[in-house]
């Protein structure tokens, strides 16, 4: 019994990502639901006349989550199947790898999302299509941000190997409280508001609520999200190239998955 305990204790003790993972989930859950509770207790009449805002935001957030995870999964599956090295000795440019992952992740995401959207109408009488044409821009913006997060995480996987896997799963939950998915930015403490304004999520979800509550489109929010997305995407691509170069120096592309 003690031996089995030690086997896991040694594993946890030697891996900072594992320790972080243990602390991370409870903290994020408490922070996220703390802000949601605070919002509802202060503004209980905010959603009175608009059924489905929460569900619409949940679908949009899930789209972001799926697109990012889909991107990461494509990488993780190669690591799990020990096929990683085979891919990197194939004559593929880094740009070709990124482009193929972007399109494959889109297909994976849509396979998961379309049935969910179709279910909301008969089950809850809500159609996300009520958002109209701006919905396309909101989805596009979320997809770009999801892919960007995927690039950040995949860069970590290339550079640090499978031990970075937990970060892949938890990266989006870190942003959930700051992304203001279910509540306006004003609900956050001032310091967090400054951080949140640097994320495209705030503008995307603020605009979603704005369209549903006020029946009015503020294109400035959509543009702000795209500007920020462009910056993060560029950083993500550079980071991916940088990680590949570092991995070639360090040797982490060899026997990945072991």
Partner 1 sequence: MIEVINLSKSFQNNKAVNNINFNIGKNEIIGLLGPNGCGKTTTIAMILGLLKPTKGKILINKKNIEHHRIELLHKMNFISPYIELPKKLTVKQNLIVYAKLYNVKDINERIDYLSSTLRLSKIINSLTGELSSGQKNRVSLAKSLINNPSVLLLDEPTASLDPETGNFIRSFLEDYINQKEISILLASHNMVEVERLCTSVMMMKSGEIIDRGTPNELIKKHGRKNLEEVFLKLVRTEDEF
Contacting residues toward partner 1, per CB under 8 A:
77-78, 81-93, 245, 248-251, 253-255, 258
Contact 222, 207 (CB under 8 A): yes
Rounded Cα–Cα distance for residues 47 and 192 (Å): 23
Q: How far is the CB of 89 from partner 1 (least distance, A)?
A: 5
Backbone angles phi, psi at 50, to 5 degrees: -130, 100
Nearer to partner 1, 75 or 88 (CB): 88
State the nearest-atom distance from the C-beta of 96 to partner 1, in Å. 9
Nearer to partner 1, 100 or 214 (CB): 100
Residue 29 Cβ vs partner 1, minimum distance, rounded to whole Å: 33
C-alpha to C-alpha distance for 232 and 141, rounded to whole angstroms: 12
C-beta closer to partner 1: residue 82 or 130: 82
Query: What is the C-alpha to C-alpha distance for residues 50 and 212, in angstroms, rounded to an integer?
Result: 7
In this complex, which beta carbon is closest to partner 1, that of residue 1 or of residue 89? 89
**Which residue lies nearer to partner 1 by CB, 77 or 186?**
77
**Shortest distance in whole angstroms from residue 250 CB to partner 1:** 7
Q: Are 147 and 67 in contact (CB under 8 A)?
A: yes
CB of 233 to partner 1, least distance (A): 23
Burial code of 225-241, b = ≥16 C-beta within 10 A, e = fewer?
Answer: bbebbeebeeebbebbe
The most distant pair of C-alpha atoms in the chain lies apart, rounded to whole Å, by 63
């Amino acid at each position: 019994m003690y031996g089995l305990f030690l086997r896991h204790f040694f594993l946890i003790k030697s891996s900072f990502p594992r320790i972080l993972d243990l602390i991370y989930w409870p903290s994020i859950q408490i922070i996220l639901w703390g802000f949601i509770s605070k919002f509802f207790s202060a503004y209980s009449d905010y959603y009175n006349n608009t059924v489905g805002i929460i569900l619409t935001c949940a679908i949009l957030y899930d789209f972001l989550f799926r697109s990012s995870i889909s991107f990461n999964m494509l990488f993780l599956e190669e690591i799990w199947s020990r096929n990683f090295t085979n891919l990197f000795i194939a004559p593929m440019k880094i740009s070709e790898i990124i482009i193929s992952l972007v399109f494959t992740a889109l297909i994976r995401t849509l396979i998961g999302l379309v049935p969910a959207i179709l279910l909301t109408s008969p089950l809850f009488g809500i159609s996300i299509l009520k958002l109209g044409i701006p919905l396309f821009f909101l989805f596009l913006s979320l997809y770009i941000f999801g892919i960007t997060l995927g690039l950040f995480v995949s860069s970590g996987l290339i550079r640090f190997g499978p031990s970075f896997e937990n970060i892949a799963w938890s990266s989006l939950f870190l942003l959930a409280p700051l992304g203001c998915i279910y509540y306006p930015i004003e609900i956050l403490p001032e310091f967090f508001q400054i951080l949140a304004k640097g994320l495209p999520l705030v503008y995307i979800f603020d605009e979603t609520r704005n369209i549903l509550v006020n029946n009015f489109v503020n294109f400035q929010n959509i543009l702000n999200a795209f500007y920020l997305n462009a910056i993060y995407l560029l950083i993500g691509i550079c980071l991916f190239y940088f990680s590949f170069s570092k991995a070639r120096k360090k040797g982490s592309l060899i026997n990945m998955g072991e």
